[in-house]
Amino acid sequence: MQYVQQMWIIWDWAKVILAVLSLTGIGVTLLVGTAYAFFKFLGGKWIDQKFAERLEAFKAEQTRELERLRHRINGVFDRAKRLHDKEFEVLPSIWEALVEARTWAGSYMAVFKQYADVGRMTETDLDEFLAKTQFSERDRRHIKNASDKQKTYIKISERYRYADAMDKLRDANSSLSKHGIFVVPEVREDMKKMIELLHAALIEQQINEEHDVRPLMREAADKLKNEGEPLFKKIETQVIARLWDSATAEV
């Protein structure tokens, strides 16, 4: 509508100019040609002006849209970098805690173990030896006063081994719980499953030791061996891939 109004304004001016020219005696053909040329000139200028205005408006809008898109892309990359940096920071500590838990659990559940021969020690040697252990004073007295010192010492030692292994397992589970949100879901779930396998095997072993179960329960231990060993290797490969991805990726 604005375009039509402006064209009519131009035409009105053209008619005035034509009227003036006709009074001077200029021919009709010349007048019409002059009017057409004048109309074309003014109309062309108007169209060029409008096109330039529209083009500038389009450029401005595209510039704003590109700026918004650039801001969103920068935000996405910034969050991705922060997440990757956090994963790079916490993943080694979670892995370390998991390795510690597996090592201590393996030590507790080992078939063949070595123990000090406390039954052959003199009272002085026994006191000196027990003083270097983490046993409580009550447990030390219990060993010294036992009729079978060796058997009592082994049973108490195994109780402490179990407690230590469970402490390491709790550390691993706590580390995964606190920092697991920064680990990719597949690795996090595999780590969680590994902790569960270790926990079940430790409980089973503790029951066997505490209650002298015969024949020994082996279901959880066998499951840890058959499923846990390949799972642990898988986790190790995943952790290496995550940590070394940025170092080996092609730019």
Residues 61 and 30 reside in one and the same domain: yes
Residues 147 and 58 reside in one and the same domain: no
d(CA 191, CA 185): 10
How much is the pLDDT for 251?
40
Residue 78 lies in a domain: no
> Which pairs count as long-range contacts for 104-107, CB under 8 Å and 24+ apart, including other chains?
104/161, 104/164, 104/165, 104/168, 104/169, 105/165, 105/168, 105/169, 105/198, 105/201, 105/202, 107/161, 107/165
Residues 20 and 56 reside in one and the same domain: yes
Residue 117 lies in a domain: yes
How much is the pLDDT for 38?
56
Residue 76 lies in a domain: no
Residues 136 and 241 reside in one and the same domain: yes
Residue 216 has φ and ψ, to the nearest 5°, of -65, 140
Counting the structural domains of the chain, the total is 2
Residue 49 lies in a domain: yes
d(CA 62, CA 14): 39
Q: What is the mean pLDDT of the chain?
A: 83
d(CA 152, CA 132): 17
Per-residue pLDDT of 163-217, as tens digits, reads 999 999 999 999 999 999 999 999 999 999 999 999 999 999 999 998 889 899 9
Residues 107 and 189 reside in one and the same domain: yes
Residues 62 and 109 reside in one and the same domain: no
Predicted TM-score (pTM) of the model is 0.70
Per-residue pLDDT of 148-165, as tens digits, reads 999 999 999 999 999 999
The CA distances from residue 82 to 73, 75, 87, 203, in Å, are 14, 11, 9, 39
Residue 219 lies in a domain: yes
Per-residue pLDDT of 128-139, as tens digits, reads 999 999 999 999
Helix pair angle (149-179, 185-211), 10° resolution: 160
Name which of 34-38, 210-214, 229-233 the model is least confident about: 34-38
Residues 188 and 98 reside in one and the same domain: yes
Q: Look up the domain containing 29 and give its range.
A: 2-71
